Amino acid sequence: MMHVKGHVISYLPSFLVEKFGRYGMDMWMYSLSKQAYDIYSDGVDKNGWYPLDVALTSPMDIVCETFYHNSLRGAIEFGRYVADKERSWEVRFFPIGRSLQSKLKKACITLQSHYDSATIISGTVNDDSAVIQVTHFPENNEILEVINAGWIQRTLGQDGRHQVAIELKAQPENSSNLVYLVKLKKPEQEVIRTNMKMKKYLGFLY
């Protein structure tokens, strides 16, 4: 069973308060399973590890269902939110002018620190595109795949010079591997795509 780092889920309540107010956050809290409710009501240990499904996947599913009309837009926005928050307190290791390869390597190290058993590596890197490979990941976890896509997109685009397009490459059924295709785009071309359920991801990013 995979676990998620506490500092990642610690941002979920503040994300909800900023988006939907204290009432929205409370409504979400009371929709959680008992296990998840206990995690969030007791206060998240940012250095601790929590069961992925209980602490992140299922709570985010409730967010998408309740506030985003069953759209995965909520997962994308949360991934971006985490990237922004990490950027605000960590050493700024993505200075303007750093190469895509250098930024990608650091992003993979950081993203891997979010989970206790995933392996995240950068593959082929060109001037304006790259591949991120993820292994030992939960099967068929769309919400988590999209949270990570949003995080990658915002993290690699934080220098303000480019928007980053992410495409999640379809994998064999029941595969525990993921491949994210990363491309640098002009701002008006920003998009996150998936070959499996593309219509879910389009129409709300512009």
Please report, for residues 78, 109, 114, 145, 200, the alpha-carbon distance to residue 134 in angstroms, rounded to integers and kept in the order given: 20, 12, 13, 10, 22
Q: Is the pLDDT of residue 195 over 90?
A: no
Range of the domain at 157: 97-201
For residues 17 and 65, the answer to whether their CB atoms sit within 8 Å is no
Q: Are residues 69 and 23 in the same domain?
A: yes
Average model confidence (pLDDT) across the chain: 82
Q: Are residues 112 and 62 in the same domain?
A: no
Percent of the chain clearing pLDDT 90 (strictly above): 45
For residues 131 and 123, the answer to whether their CB atoms sit within 8 Å is yes
Q: Quick check: is 134 in a domain?
A: yes
Structural domain count of the chain: 2
Q: Are residues 120 and 176 in the same domain?
A: yes
Residue 17 is predicted with a pLDDT of 97
Q: Are residues 61 and 105 in the same domain?
A: no
Residue 203 is predicted with a pLDDT of 34
β-strand pairing of 192-194 with 119-125? unpaired
Residue 87 is predicted with a pLDDT of 80
Q: Quick check: is 206 in a domain?
A: no
Q: Quick check: is 78 in a domain?
A: no
Q: Are residues 101 and 155 in the same domain?
A: yes
Q: Are residues 21 and 107 in the same domain?
A: no
Residue 201 is predicted with a pLDDT of 41
For residues 198 and 169, the answer to whether their CB atoms sit within 8 Å is no
Q: Are residues 120 and 184 in the same domain?
A: yes
Q: CATH number of the domain that 178 lies in? A: 3.30.70
For residues 180 and 166, the answer to whether their CB atoms sit within 8 Å is yes
Q: Quick check: is 155 in a domain?
A: yes
Residue 200 is predicted with a pLDDT of 40
Q: Is the pLDDT of residue 2 over 80?
A: yes
Helix (H, G, I), strand (E, B) or coil at 104: helix
Of residues 2 and 126, more confidence is placed in: 2
Mean of the pLDDT values across residues 18-41? 97
Tell me the pLDDT band of 143, cut-offs 50, 70 and 90. Answer: very high
DSSP structure class, residue 204: S
**Element holding 168 (H helix, E strand):** strand 163-169
Q: Are residues 16 and 101 in the same domain?
A: no
Q: Are residues 196 and 101 in the same domain?
A: yes
